[in-house]
Amino acid sequence: MPSLNRYLIIPAAGTGKRFGSKIPKQFLPVAGMPLLMHTILPFYRFDKKIRIILALPFRYISYWHSLCRKYNFHIPHRVVKGGKTRFHSVKNGLRFVPKRNCIVAVHDAVRPFVHPSSLRLLFKKTLIHGAAVPALKPVDSMRIVTGRWNSPVNRESFRLIQTPQCFRAEIMHRAYNQKFRQSFTDDANAVEKAGYSLHLVETSTNNFKITFPVDFDCAELLIKMNGKKN
């Protein structure tokens, strides 16, 4: 099966309001380096030829460049201006991606623990199916809430969707030519609305998104543990 050039878009234009930090959490240090740099590293280690595109808040672009100098971060990447939503940030990044003959991965800026085996499988399945999305089986009991009422549901029928979400470039460009909808909370939603089906790939529980301050403590510990293994 032929390989295709790989592109990575990281929409990192969030401002950290929910996190409660003055500085967006993707720029905060964890284990001796800004979180966003930890997020980039697994992709570069997996494929040093991958083209990396970061969509950043405009007023933090120069700050990011200063962080790269401070931490001697020399992994090649392109910086673009982020949009008002994730959809618009990804769309800005897609301007620098060819319309065919490549695969585009879109990954959360604050999800630094994607495993090489997951990347290998996601890119492989994208070649076959055109769209591959990591999904995690829930382990807790689940209930559906409707107004004042709630009832149990079969958790085997549900999956928690993560990133990186991977697509053939032609699919991504068609999906992002659509008019924005509020339901486009991730790329999978936009691609599905454009008429494409998604192939779900089981992922690791370690591939968590750093959302709350306590997650930084978990990330610090995991990064240090991984460092000892290398």
Q: Which residue is associated with the tokens 């409707």?
A: 146
Distance of alpha carbon 151 from alpha carbon 129, whole angstroms? 35
Given the structure tokens 């032609």, which residue do they identify?
A: 170
pLDDT for residue 126: 97
Structural domain harbouring 209 = 5-229
Residue 120 has a pLDDT of 96
Contacts 24+ apart (CB under 8 A), 59-62: 60/24, 60/27
b/e for 24-36, b at 16 or more Cβ within 10 A?
bbbbbebbebbbb
**Domain CATH number, residue 59:** 3.90.550.10
Question: Residue 228: what pLDDT?
Answer: 47
Tell me, what's the pLDDT at 227?
A: 66
DSSP secondary structure string for all residues of 192-204 = HHTT---EEEE--
Determine contact, residues 126/103, Cβ cutoff 8 Å. yes
Cis check: omega of the bond before 164, within 30 degrees of 0:
yes
Position 90 scores a pLDDT of 97
**pLDDT value at residue 206:** 87
Helices vs. strands in the chain: H and E counts, helices first = 7, 12
Looking at the structure of the chain, the number of domains it has is 1
Return per-residue pLDDT of the chain as tens, 230 residues.
567 899 999 999 876 666 667 889 999 999 999 999 999 999 999 999 999 999 999 999 999 999 999 999 999 999 999 999 999 999 999 999 999 999 999 999 999 999 999 999 999 999 999 999 999 999 999 999 999 999 999 999 999 999 999 999 999 999 999 999 998 999 999 999 999 999 999 988 889 999 888 888 899 888 887 764 44
The pLDDT of residue 19: 61
